[in-house]
Structure 1
Amino acid sequence: MQYEEMNPLKIKGMELGPIATNAFLLWRDGMTQAVLVDAPPNCAEEVNNVLAEENLTLSEIWLTHGHWDHMAGADELNGEDIRIIGHINDRIMFEQPSIMANFAIPGINMDPIKVTHWVKEGEVLDFFGSPVEVRHCPGHCPGNVVFWFKNDSCCFVGDVIFRESVGRYDLPGGDFEKLEASIQEKIFSLPPETKLLVGHGPPTTVSHEMQSNPFVRPKTL
């Protein structure tokens, strides 16, 4: 199927969990299945309400990284037919989330998450007939990935970059030099008009961050 035949991408953004983490429910207009990007703690009620309102079935959960505030709710939504996607460099956080107890909110569900498909740099996912490129962007944590919907001019970036800010790099596995390289090489190389849907706060664009982000500047020749 050619992109010209594709129905518009529908995005339902939800600010969920104790530290206002953004999750995004994605589907094509007129279709019955949806993908969830990130699953904050206690997200099931809100996600299921949207699914019911839109007559959708959740088919996949795409996790940008393994920090508790982005994945702890996946266990609430998981079913036998739901594929969960993540990067293997965050495997220990998915499978042994209790290691994050020292920087998680007390009382958060810390049940292991079973990732059923480990994505790799450059892998192309099939979003109901349209391609989505995976880019591995370590620095905030070892396994952060972003999901680039080239044909829809948007990218879901987790905590790699925010509007005029960047993800923390002082948590275990964080590294500013790697984060800077990820942003310069994997985010700033996207088309300037690409909308960046971030893990916390409002969306931004590649062009705005290249001009205004005070933490990472584009490479100069």
Structure 2
Amino acid sequence: MLIIAFDADDTLWVNEPYFRTSEEAFAALFEDYLPQHTTQQELFKTEMDNLALYGYGVKGFMLSMVETAIRITDGNLSAEGTNRIIEIGKELLNRPIEILPHVEEVLQALSSKYRLVVATKGDLLDQERKLKKSGLAKYFHHIEIMSDKKPADYQKLLQHLDVAPDQFMMIGNSLKSDILPVLDLGGHGIHIPFHTTWAHEMVSHPVEHPNFRAIEHLDEILAFL
């Protein structure tokens, strides 16, 4: 039986626009030191340097904000500034869950025919919280919160699910994390672009693969599944 896996952030619910709002709030705190766009660039560099240590998610983002603030203030980050950064992070963690269009109707239609899986990366507690708040957990056979989404990570998931790559389909908004690694293993990938994409997830080249399909809206998959 075909197993269909869904990414979560910006595939099932809104995520990246909230991070952008948080980045803007952070940059505004330090406009006396640097232009806001420069502060955002500095934050991104810090996040990239810290990915191997902190992984993906809000908590690593918060630590990177603190580190960036210390650097751009030459070590003069105040207690008030630190507290505001923590508040920005907590506000991000407490954002409401905004389910994307067609998600529930598609999950309802597919869950009776296929084994559905969530395959997402990020902070364990945060992703579990979002899934619980979303009300979507009931549709999924398995939830996998991954530290990263490289081919080896998907291979581990396939072994856990006891499924061959050609019987595995991944649906997500990130070509880099959701689609290309699965295609490399011989699986199927369906890309649903989201209007806001984190720079780290950008792919500049076109994808050409017999197991690849791009759609505009999630409900389009019902026509061919």
TM-score scaled by structure 1? Answer: 0.28
Structure with the bigger percentage of helix: 2
Q: Which has the higher contact order (CA 8 A, sep 6+)?
A: 2
Structure with the bigger percentage of strand: 1
